[in-house]
């Protein structure tokens, strides 16, 4: 009868969702393993080279230990990002949005990245603005701003990184613009995927994990907001997120 068919359809639908979730998890585990393997292989190789005699070679020994430290830092960044994602995905995760001034998140993170910008010979500009009151978890919103600033500074060779904030009828927004390499149109929608990188070697060399923008997307989604990017290759990129305003 009608009822029976309805039930069968429902079950099939559930199964395909379970299967899809399973596949996503499998891909994720495979990706994580791959990401862990590269620095681990390198750590082991340099340690063995040192033990095989390079320890006696002062100059090379120092260089190899510096590489070991850099690889360990990479592993640390990866584990930190994985823990952030795990925390965000916990089904019982508490999300407590309160009235929060976007201005404060941006001001703090612009101050935190001032040194990195100076070292990269970039100007970091935050155009002063009135408070923008949004409904948010302060520390998480700061992480969003931090990840966007980190990328803008990491991928920009020369020029300016500019942060702007504002509000419209229902949302508060923040834009981070850079004068970096830009992103091709066909890559744009993919940069928010976990482990997606346009230039793997460059991301790795800069200490990237490939998870920064997926964390951004996740946090903004938890806030009931949206993240987007527009970019012109050779000119620069603008990442924008918006979250609901506080009444
Ligand atoms: P990563 O740790 O590699 O930076 P993200 O998830 O933060 O990982 O970013 C994914 C990819 O998107 C980067 O590897 C890079 O190719 C690209 N990307 C992110 N931000 C920028 C930017 N401001 N300018 C150019 N490319 C960017």
Query: What are 75-116's pLDDT values in tens digits?
Result: 999 999 999 999 998 888 888 899 999 999 999 999 999 999
Nearest CA to ligand 1 atom 14: 197
Q: What is the pTM of this model?
A: 0.88
Query: What are 8-43's pLDDT values in tens digits?
Result: 655 666 678 888 888 888 889 999 999 999 999 999
For residues 81 and 219, is the Cβ–Cβ distance under 8 A? no
Would you give the DSSP letter of residue 54? G
Q: What is the predicted pLDDT for the residue at 118? A: 97
Nearest CA to ligand 1 atom 2: 208
Q: What is the predicted pLDDT for the residue at 20? A: 85
Structural element, H or E, at residue 216? helix 212-222
Average pLDDT estimate for 117-137? 95
Residue percentage of the chain with pLDDT more than 90: 78
Distance 94 CA to ligand 1 centre (A): 28
Provide the angle, in degrees to the nearest 10, between the axes of the packed helices 138-155 and 212-222.
150
For residues 220 and 192, is the Cβ–Cβ distance under 8 A? no
Report whether pLDDT(4) > 70. no
Report whether pLDDT(148) > 90. yes
């Amino acid at each position: 009868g009608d009822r029976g068919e309805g039930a069968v359809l429902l079950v099939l639908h559930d199964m395909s969702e379970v299967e899809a979730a399973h596949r996503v998890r499998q891909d994720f585990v495979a990706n994580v393993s791959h990401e862990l393997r590269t620095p681990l292989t390198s750590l082991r190789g340099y340690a063995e080279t040192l033990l095989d005699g390079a320890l006696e070679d002062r100059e090379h020994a120092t260089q190899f230990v510096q590489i070991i430290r850099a690889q360990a830092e990479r592993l640390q960044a990866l584990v930190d990002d994985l823990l952030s994602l795990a925390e965000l995905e916990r089904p019982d995760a508490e999300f407590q949005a309160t009235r929060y001034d976007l201005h404060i998140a941006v001001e703090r993170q612009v101050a935190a990245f001032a040194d990195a910008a100076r070292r990269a010979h970039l100007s970091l500009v935050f155009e002063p603005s009135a408070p923008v009151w949004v409904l948010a978890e302060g520390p998480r919103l700061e992480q969003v701003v931090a990840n966007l600033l980190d990328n803008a500074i990491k991928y920009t060779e020369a020029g300016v990184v500019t942060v702007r904030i504002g509000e419209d009828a229902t949302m508060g927004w923040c834009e981070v613009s850079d004068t970096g390499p830009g992103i091709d149109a066909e890559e744009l929608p993919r940069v928010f995927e976990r482990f997606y990188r346009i230039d793997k070697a460059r991301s790795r060399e800069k200490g990237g994990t490939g998870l920064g923008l997926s964390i951004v997307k996740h946090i903004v989604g938890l806030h009931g907001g949206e993240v987007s990017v527009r970019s012109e290759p050779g000119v620069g990129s603008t990442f924008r997120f918006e979250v609901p305003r506080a009444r």
